[in-house]
Amino acid sequence: MSNTMRSRFNSTVVDLLGDDPLTVVVLAAIGASGFSAETRRTFGGRIIDVGIREQAMIGVAGGLALEGLRPIVMSYTPFIVERPFEQIKLSLTHQGVHATLVSIGGSWDAAGEGRTHQAPEDVALISTLPSWTVHVPGTPHEAEQAIRTSHWSGQSHYIRLTDDSNAQSFEGELGKVATLRRGSDSAPTVLAVGPVATDVLEATTGMDATVLYTTVPRPIDANGLRAAVVGTDIVIVEPYLAGTSVAEVAAAVADTPTRIRAVGITNPEMQHYGNPRELRAAHGLDAVGIRRALESGRTQVAF
Amino acid sequence: MRHTAHHHDTQELVPYGYDDLNRFLSMMSGDEKHSEASTSTLDVIWTLYDKVLKVDPLNPQDPNRDRFYLSKGHGPMAYYAVLAAKGFIAPSILSAFASAESPLGHHPDRRRIPGVEISSGSLGHGLGLGVGAALAIGLARSQGRVFVLMGDGELEEGSNHEAIAIAGRFGIGRLTAIVIDNQSATHGWPGGIEQRFAVEGWLTDVVDGRDHVSIAKAVSVSHPEMPLAVVARVGGHQ
């Protein structure tokens, strides 16, 4: 069984190509080597590599979708969200057609490559478009669930994969808020999104805190969140731009007096290299950094 | 949801001729800034719908139909006039052009107008969509062809050149691009627009964009293993 989100993407997509004749994969060079020559022969023209042409990648996916196919598109985060953003807006959403967009690289996988290969603004950008569901799986298993569910839904989904991974899968039902640890009635609630959950649990060890988990920050499971939040303080810990999900969470708990704080990336122009773990720590999103933010009461963004 | 309120009317409206188009155009006002863009496309769109495209207003979703993509969405009055003449929309709705009550905006909307295949306006989107649609039609082994109408100014958008390159590499024979050349590109196209396509493996031709016979002949040539680009010159050329 594959043990990274990226390899799980490949095995899952090959399954979908076999199960569903309407499945078509669109790539822009990146990821093409993940499909064997035999797979390419088997599925003929349904694995389309347009070369390093990301606007065409999304445009072609839009044309395929206009004809009733179900495109799965994959590339590195900045090249699938930022570079062809107008194509996502107009060649997919505005046409009223759908695709599953899958990014790889997350926020810190490309630590050595630096800013050009990082797009922690991705979820915020996608969230400006109507009707997109955003998945931030925390493990390869959760990634597979997200890919399969998204594909068969016939709707627009953005799935954010990373080499990072939680120590275990925490998700119960896809899209539902899960409770990982229960604090007292006055304890703050820490909502961990995707692959930061293991570090959030470590960061809150010994603290009086309720820890929740989701892999679908948009649309968030509002009923589940309302039911799980007990106190008045909510801290969202996300592995991308700080504050991205504040509006979603605020809307979910709008009927209760709540203070929402956000922990995430605040300086995408950090220009800090090294390995992914070191870059994550530099962003303050390892267990030490998250603990520091929780104890200080100062989070990167306060609303 | 597609706008179908006038579907019943269309059966009573067909046919109108080329001579009716000016009357239909005169019913639409409020987008004068795009009037040149609109009239530059008139003869090509008319010829396609009158002589070339296999489309049926009574069966607009026929999987074997030809697809016409107005990528150059600016100034769609000519498009609307032809759609009215060919029975996709009722001529009576033209006079409400771009009003709050009308499905007809300054840029065409596929979700509001029967027969409109893509929503366009922002330049440089149609050809990429056309490549995808043509690939899909091929996978489905359907009969349809895809015709994408572009402009020489629109070609300045880099996204077109991504699509031109891959369409040539993939040898997409069911794809045709028609480029209206009214010399509106900011910096021109030294060597000719057609060369931009030819170098990527397209069959190319250049015609008078007002000559219906030439247009129909050029877009009807057989090109089973390579895409076709036809440059239709209108005005300004010596």
What ipTM was estimated for this complex?
0.94
Please answer yes or no on whether A59 and B119 come within 8 Å at the CB atom. Answer: no
The reply to whether residue A67 touches residue B137, judged by beta carbons under 8 angstroms, is: yes
pLDDT in tens, A153-162: 999 999 999 9
Mean pLDDT (whole number) for A112-124:
96
By C-alpha distance, the chain B residue nearest A46 is B139
Claim to verify: residue A137 and residue A224 sit in the same structural domain: no
Q: Is there a contact between B159 and A96 if contact means CB atoms under 8 Å apart?
A: no
The answer to whether A64 contacts B137, with C-beta atoms less than 8 Å apart, is no
> CA of A178: how far to CAs of A150, A215, A291, B10, B105, in Å?
20, 10, 21, 55, 46
The pLDDT, as a whole number, for residue B3 is 34
> Which residue did the predictor score with more confidence, A2 or B118?
B118
Contact A56, B131 (CB under 8 A): yes
Choose the final residue of a domain: A125, A160, A195.
A160
* B7, pLDDT greater than 60: no
Q: Which strand (E) or helix (H) includes residue A9? A: helix A5-19
Residues A111 and A197 in one domain: no
* pLDDT at residue number A285: 97
Question: Is there a contact between B125 and A68 if contact means CB atoms under 8 Å apart?
Answer: no
Asked if residue A182 and residue A139 are part of one domain, the reply reads: no
For residue A303, pLDDT beyond 90: no
Indicate the pLDDT class of residue B32, thresholds 50, 70 and 90.
confident
Lowest-pLDDT range, A99-103, B10-14, B110-114, B225-229? Answer: B10-14
**Percent of chain A predicted with pLDDT > 90:** 93
Q: Cβ neighbours of residue B8 under 8 Å, at least 6 residues apart?
A: none
Q: What is the pLDDT of residue A160?
A: 98
Binary contact (B162, A46; C-beta < 8 A):
no
Secondary structure of residue A32 in the 3-state scheme: helix
Number of CB atoms found within 10 A of residue A289's CB: 19
Is the residue at A187 inside a domain?
A: yes
Q: How far is B215 from chain A (nearest CA, A)?
A: 25
Cα A224 to Cα A217: distance, rounded to the nearest angstrom: 12
Q: Do B122 and A86 touch (CB under 8 A)?
A: yes
Name every residue whose Cβ is closer than 8 Å to that of residue B200 and which is 6 or more positions away in sequence.
Answer: B164, B165, B167, B168, B169
Mutate to test the interface with A, among B162, B164, B175 (most CBs of A within 10 A): B162
**Neighbour order of strands in the sheet with B175-181:** B67-70, B146-151, B175-181, B228-233, B203-208
Q: For residue B61, what pLDDT is reported?
A: 92
For the stretch B141-150, pLDDT in tens is 999 999 999 9
The one-character DSSP state at A34 is G
The answer to whether A64 touches B130, Cβ cutoff 8 Å, is no
Half-sphere exposure of A183 (CA within 13 A, CB side): 23
Name chain B contacts of A59, Cβ cutoff 8 Å.
125, 127-129, 131-132, 159, 162-163
DSSP annotation string for A106-120: TTTTTTTT-GGG--T
Domain membership flag for residue A166: no
pLDDT for B95: 95
- b (16+ CB within 10 A) / e for A155-188: ebbbbbbbebbbeebbbeebbbbbebbebeeebb
- pLDDT value, residue A44: 84
Which residues on B lie below 8 Å from A61 (Cβ)? 132
DSSP A278: H
pLDDT classification of B5: cutoffs 50, 70, 90:
very low
A167 domain-assigned: no
Is the link from the previous residue into B227 a cis peptide, with omega within 30 of 0?
no
Residues A112, A182, single domain; the answer is: no
Q: Is residue A185 part of a domain?
A: yes
The residues near A283 (Cβ < 8 Å, ≥ 6 apart) are A107, A108, A265, A266, A267, A270, A289
Number of domains into which chain A is organized: 2
Cα–Cα dist A194/A140, whole Å: 11
Domain that holds residue A186: 178-302
Cβ <8 Å between A63 and B130: yes
| Torsion angle of the four alpha carbons B194, B197, B198, B201, in this order, in degrees rounded to the nearest 10 | -160
Predicted confidence at residue B236, as pLDDT, reads 62
Question: Are residues B131 and A63, on separate chains, in Cβ contact within 8 Å?
Answer: yes
Q: Is residue A172 in some structural domain? A: no
Average pLDDT, chain A: 95
Q: Stretch B126-143: mean pLDDT, rounded? A: 97
Is residue A55's pLDDT more than 70?
A: yes
Say if residue A212 is in the same domain as residue A291.
yes
Structure confidence by residue, pLDDT tens digits, B113-124: 999 999 999 999
**Residue A183, domain CATH:** 3.40.50.920
Is A279 inside a domain boundary? Answer: yes
Domain end call among A127, A160, A193 = A160
| Contact residues, B window 146-165, toward A, CB-based 8 Å cutoff | 158-159, 162-163, 165
Handedness of CA A21, A23, A29, A31 (dihedral sign): negative
Pairing between strand A132-135 and A100-104? unpaired
pLDDT at A10 over 70: yes
- Structural domains of chain B sorted by starting position, each given as residue range(s) with its CATH number in brackets: 14-233 (3.40.50.970)
Tens of pLDDT, residue by residue over A224-276, are 999 999 889 999 999 999 999 999 999 999 999 999 999 999 999 998 999 99
Torsion of CA B130, B132, B138, B141, to 10 degrees: -100
pLDDT at A201 over 50: yes
Residues A208 and A298 in one domain: yes
- Name residue B235's amino acid: G
Residue A171 lies in a domain: no
pLDDT exceeds 80 at position A104: yes
Residue A46 and residue A143 in one domain: yes
pLDDT band for position A113 (50/70/90)? very high
Give the number of beta-carbon pairs within 8 Å between A and B. 97
Contacts of A88 in chain B (CB under 8 A): none
Chain B partners of A96 at a C-beta cutoff of 8 Å?
110-111
Q: What is the pLDDT of residue A302?
A: 40
Average pLDDT of span B214-225: 97
Q: Residue A118's domain is classified under what CATH number? A: 3.40.50.970
| Pairing verdict, β A301-302 and A259-265 | antiparallel
**Residue B119, min C-alpha distance to chain A (Å):** 6
Q: Inspect the interface and report whether the beta carbons of A50 and B162 lie closer than 8 Å.
A: yes
Mean local confidence (pLDDT), A158-179: 95
